[in-house]
Structure 1
């Protein structure tokens, strides 16, 4: 008797609730009425979310976010690039209008190209709208970039982007050479090494290339046949104060594997004492870094004169000219003397 009373009371309450919340034209327990009752909480939640998003947007407009960029300050280098509009008309390389490099002092462990985020960080970044918008912009720029742009830009003076400055950049105005990480030719180096510890405390001529064409170009600056005076400065520097460093950058996985497979042939081209100064770099050079450092064409070789504080004091690109080789030799000798003075 009591159970039947409870059942009748419950049925009556459900009927009254259905009549109050359902449309007048719908029966209380008809499928449309049930659907309307189930969707009502979802509509309320959606309205609340929209209101919260609007309030958050208003707050962001009142307090705009500040972003830091790595774009270099000063005049841009006027040269064909692998991105942006295609260069039209005649091009003549001009001397560098400003010091090039990164604004921050390099540190070991930077620019490895390895994603070391934890699982929770990746999950958080997956739903980060601002981060996703930045990544979407990067992917759009990569997919819209012509594949053969670097090759077509070789028609302009064999890819020479700029002329080397006749004198060193002032130390207080110079910017930094970024840290890169890669395997060296030394058998004792079983893991990747950073370039920053090697460059710190020494005057270094750093060659960056990613193809045989580019390697021949940097050889016109630093090889013993093309520039014997440069090797004389290196051999006369006590305690290795001056050195030659090679960075072979290859972002293609198959080509990078072949380079590492035939590293024995690379060792035969260099003295054993220089094996730890030849880096095989797989990743870590971004487009912002290329723009800041002046690596405007991935198929062209570039040479940098870096002081003992990892600052870029001189730079050259493409095939060398006699005056560029001469200024490189004088600059290296001057930087080596600066190292000696600080050591005293």
Structure 2
């Protein structure tokens, strides 16, 4: 699962970050894979464990720990600063479309793999100066440390592009996108999210 920077940049130059086509329709429940467990931290120091998921026997109004389980979560993964704008090309239009819904969350996850920045004292200082969000549905969070196992589970090779996952209330990936959003891809994402909101 490891490649060099030059291999990644060569691929990006060829496809502008579109390493694969985004889903056009929702991924069926029986074919959907679970989003891997991931611990993230918010700038205020809170630790969250993604995905926020309810046990199969619970409905969407139940809670996971102290946090309400959303009907759908858009999880945007950035492994390098260069892909944060790609993530926002999905998250901001998504929030425009569903911002009024209380059971929709957006998580913009930035991965920080530097051992120095991941060390406890430095990490606390970093979090204080990291970008934040004032939107209660938009969560800007950070994952510190080695992420090899996480990437392996999602078959992520290129670290210079963005990876977008629409996750249902049971923690399953029901739609995927890559790189920067196109109008057609945003339309399919909106349609698939509406389906999740209607699921019982």
Q: Does 1:328 align with 2:189?
A: yes
> What's the TM-score, normalizing by structure 2?
0.78
CA distance in 2, matches of 1:322, 1:278: 24
- Per-residue deviation at 1:297? 0.8
The answer to which structure, 1 or 2, has the higher relative contact order (CA under 8 A, 6+ apart) is 2
The count of residues paired between Structure 1 and Structure 2 equals 182
Aligned to 1:181: 39
- Per-residue deviation at 1:305? 0.4
CA distance in 2, matches of 1:313, 1:204: 10
The answer (yes or no) to whether the contact 1:161–1:296 under 8 Å persists in 2 is: no
Q: Does 1:204 align with 2:73?
A: yes
**Larger fraction in helix:** 1
Aligned to 1:273: 136
Aligned to 1:70: none
- Per-residue deviation at 1:246? 1.4
The answer (yes or no) to whether the contact 2:42–2:127 under 8 Å persists in 1 is: no
Higher Cα Rg, which structure: 1
Q: Does 1:154 align with 2:12?
A: yes
**CA pair 178-260 structure 1, distance change in 2 beyond 3 A:** farther
Q: Secondary structure at the match of 1:172?
A: helix
CA distance in 1, matches of 2:185, 2:197: 18
**CA pair 157-332 structure 1, distance change in 2 beyond 3 A:** same
- Per-residue deviation at 1:218? 1.3
- Per-residue deviation at 1:263? 3.7
Which structure 1 residue ranges, 5 or more long, are not aligned? 1-81, 84-144
The correspondence of residues 74-113 of structure 1 with structure 2, limited to 5 A, is: 83=2
**CA pair 232-319 structure 1, distance change in 2 beyond 3 A:** closer
Which structure 2 residue ranges, 5 or more long, are not aligned? 55-68
